[in-house]
Chain A
């Protein structure tokens, strides 16, 4: 425990609930159907294929205006096109019936590092359709548009329950390190940091062993304490580089990517595959909690069924992602490419008590905001005060709700305030 008289960054260890999950190796799952979304961020994509076509794994299905592609995640025939509920909203989707043949449409692998040009590497990243697998789904190529000094591999995985990145990491660490020389060449970076939690000893050991094999570049393995939200970009950059930034880590010359993203890029560079599989942790109230390597865009109910079904008959919610930030669903939904967990919880709505202004949320906020004050200003609809409180700086980590003894949805209220502030600021600019 660190003590600060005035600073609010009190580190908090939250129960991770993943001791068992970390020990179980991941299993593979091949579902009957996958549902490939045909829109991204509310914009519909230009379809390349149509209903009835045969597609293999990695066949191009659609492109967006930026020529950023979306690929099929299984091989089989496109059965129909219909509206589906995804983890991030309703979208048109191709329903692809899996023929379980696992045929793969491969791209051209990149050659030796010394022989490929920067342009080729950048194109390979962009047209692989790789997105940030940390959960936000930010297209990876956008991070590599500027040169950087540091590359940071984020293997912290601070959300409770989630163990998939760790399990993939310990079995495919060489893929992670295969991607590094290409990215170093692309960005001109000098230093690579591999950041993992201190209690993930096996992963740290693997990373150190692997880094010893590669003499031509330097990878520093950094252990971070077991705290939430340590895996957040901003926390990692401030922990590793002791620097803070405004919007994107590139401002301080750093590029942070999830370990799974590195793995997928490594696979793309070496073998020419595109990232269409995702390892998800299925846990919570299921009979056999485990991590599952499944094609992207699988139905959540299929995954839960694969893990033995729900272990309770009481009403449940299914959460896409980690328990701290994931969205809850009552109906069935299709997991995203960037989803890293499908968690089943009891559907309880706890009764909130009045806020007693204890300030626990203020003393734990990783962004040093004052959630309780933001909440009070929101109640008064006091936009000026919300702007003064920097409500738009919230990173949506959910810690304020977690620590709140009155069980108020502080985090949700701050989200509403954040949206208001962003809207007001846009209005000012216009």
Chain B
């Protein structure tokens, strides 16, 4: 038998996909732990704080279990077909496949993306859908086009819209004029903007928004934790901050122009800051947009990808009736990924085209905010 001889290079970097994924898992668990602590301490009007905490725990358990379940079933077929002579070889291979499908990370991100108020079966169905349809049907880890966790969240948003938008509002604390808790979900902001105006953005103090002392999806409210984790992950080269920062800056500048268009004056800076903190922008930018599988491979492509996502976030937030722009915009940007990759040819050592193209895309994002701001000058803050 001709054995394959190892190819050069004969040295490899120590980092593996598995170790990077485990680090990401730990980071997400830290975020979850912060969230869990918050719900245990804070409580709410309808339930006691312990009940809230238990809800959070239940969400995690159900999410992880039903995200991994499709893997367990899917690879069973491979298990049956495998021609290994020994049972333990087969079982080892089976668990290798399941563990290296990384569906538990999908599940964990999905749990963090969903509000606490969902029923357990709703989370279960979303998680199952996320792994099965968005990942396994496309050929498993590495072959998926759409970010599985985002697909799960959008699925939940479409199928269980009432619980995504009102259930939490129902149990949330009553802050000033019944608006603030709706920010918390991050799902009904366009509706809120339509009915109450942008003033609802300013209902809770900025520091509370920053440390996440309000209700929202499980993981997306704790801005400071997300920022710290993002810095750590970027230093460890697990995520590419190129994506995150481009996305956040584009949205910040665009909303800044929007507030300037409203005639907000100096408040525009704070308003734009709140606009970035609100909803899933930060979480999406750090944990979902940076998913290597569904983002372009080159640096130029990544920047363009982030700008496209920012563009659709602004369009969906401002011009459509959809509850939240981040998830949809990431899915739409994912569609563009193969196209972006295809457009980048040859050697990537020239910077003129990338800078020009990024500038054009950035201007497009800014135009969305500015156009909305100029056409709605009467908005009171």
Contact across chains for A356 and B300 when beta carbons are under 8 A apart: no
- The answer to whether B7 touches A402, judged by C-beta atoms less than 8 angstroms apart, is no
Partner of B7, one of A5, A360, A409: A409
- The answer to whether the Cβ of A223 comes within 8 Å of any Cβ in the partner chain is no
Complex Cα–Cα for A401 and B8 (A): 8
Q: Report yes or no: A357 in contact with B292, Cβ–Cβ below 8 A.
A: yes
- Closest residue of chain A to B238 (Cβ to Cβ) is A358
Size category, A interface: 35 or more
Query: CA separation between A7 and B293, bound complex, in Å?
Result: 21
- Is B348 an interface residue, CB under 8 A from the partner? yes
Digitize B13-47: 1 where CB-to-A-CB distance is under 8 Å, 0 elsewhere: 10111111000000000000000000000000000
Decide: A358 near B298, CB < 8 A? Known: A323-B9, A405-B16, A406-B16. no
**B297 contacts which chain A residues (CB < 8 A)?**
357-359, 362, 370, 372-373
Name the B residues within 8 Å of A355 (CB-CB): 142
A367 CA / B349 CA spacing, docked (Å) = 8
**Which A385-408 residues have C-beta < 8 A from chain B?**
385, 388-390, 393, 398-399, 401-407
A328 and B13 contact, Cβ closer than 8 Å, known pairs A359-B292, A368-B349: no
Which residue of the partner chain B has the closest CB to A360? Answer: B237
Stretch of B54-62, B66-74, B339-347 on the interface side: B339-347
A389→B342 CA distance, assembly (Å): 10
Distance in angstroms between the alpha carbons of A317 and B9 in the assembled complex: 13
CA distance A405 to B6 in the complex (A): 17
Instruction: Point out the residues of chain A lying under 8 angstroms from B19, CB to CB.
Output: 405
Cα distance, A329 to B8, chains bound together (Å) = 11
Q: Are B4 and A6 in contact (CB under 8 A)?
A: no
Q: Is the interface of A mostly helix, strand, loop or mixed?
A: loop
A334 at the interface (CB under 8 A from B): no
A61 to B240, CA, bound (A): 58
Interface status of A160 (Cβ within 8 A of chain B): yes
Question: Interface majority SS on B: helix, strand, loop or mixed?
Answer: loop
Interface membership of A349, Cβ < 8 A: yes
Contact B6 A406 (CB under 8 A): no
Instruction: Tell me, in angstroms, the Cα distance from A343 to B10 when the chains sit together.
Output: 10
Per a CB cutoff under 8 Å, which of B5, B242, B299, B351 touches A362?
A: B299
- B16 is contacted by which of A327, A399, A407 (Cβ under 8 Å)? A407
Query: Which partner residue on chain A sits nearest B338 by CB separation?
Result: A376
Assess the B302–A325 pair: CB atoms within 8 A: no
* Contact residues in A for B271 (Cβ distance below 8 Å): none
> Does B141 lie at the interface of the complex (its beta carbon under 8 Å from any beta carbon of A)?
yes
Residues of A282-309 contacting chain B, CB below 8 A:
none
Interface string of A407-422 (1 = CB under 8 A from B): 1010110000000000
The listed residue (B3, B8, B143, B293) touching A327 by CB distance below 8 A is B8
Complex interface: chain B residues within 8 A of A33 (CB) = none
For B346, what are the chain A residues with a Cβ–Cβ distance below 8 Å?
388-390
Interface centre among A355, A356, A363 (most CB of B within 10 A): A356
Q: Which of B6, B299, B355 contacts A347, CB < 8 Å?
A: B6
C-beta contact mask, B137-175 vs A, less than 8 Å → 1, else 0? 000111100000000000000000000000000000000
Q: Which residues of A contact B143 (CB under 8 A)?
A: 354
- Please judge, given known A-B contacts A8-B298, A357-B292, whether A328 and B5 are in contact too, CB under 8 Å: yes
B347/A369 in contact, CB under 8 A: yes
A365 to chain B, nearest CB (A): 8
Q: Do A405 and B13 touch (CB < 8 A)?
A: yes
Name the contact of A6 in the complex, choosing from B100, B292, B351 (C-beta under 8 A): B351
In this complex, what residue of B is CB-closest to A324? B9
A323 to B12, CA, bound (A): 10
- Does the CB pair A14–B298 fall under 8 Å? no
A354-B141 CB under 8 A given contacts A373-B297, A389-B345? yes
Within 246-284 of A, Cβ neighbours of B (below 8 Å) are at none
Contact A402 B299 (CB under 8 A): no
Could you tell me the distance between the alpha carbons of A407 and B10 in the complex, rounded to whole angstroms?
Answer: 11
Task: State the CA gap A373–B341 with chains docked (Å).
Answer: 8
- For B5, give its contact among A329, A369, A389 (CB under 8 Å): A329
A327 CA to B8 CA in the complex, in Å? 6
Are B348's CB and A370's CB within 8 A?
A: yes
In the complex, which residues of chain A have a beta carbon less than 8 angstroms from the beta carbon of B80? none
- Selected contact of B9 from candidates A349, A363, A402, CB within 8 Å: A402
Q: Which residues of A are in contact with B by a Cβ distance under 8 Å?
A: 4-9, 14-15, 160, 317, 319, 323-330, 343, 345, 347-350, 353-360, 362-363, 367-370, 372-373, 385, 388-390, 393, 398-399, 401-407, 409, 411-412
Q: A327-B8, A353-B100 are in contact. List 12 more A-B contacts (CB 8 A).
A: A319-B8, A326-B8, A354-B140, A356-B292, A357-B142, A357-B293, A390-B347, A398-B8, A399-B9, A401-B12, A402-B13, A405-B20
5 nearest interchain CB pairs? A354-B142, A398-B9, A359-B297, A358-B292, A368-B349
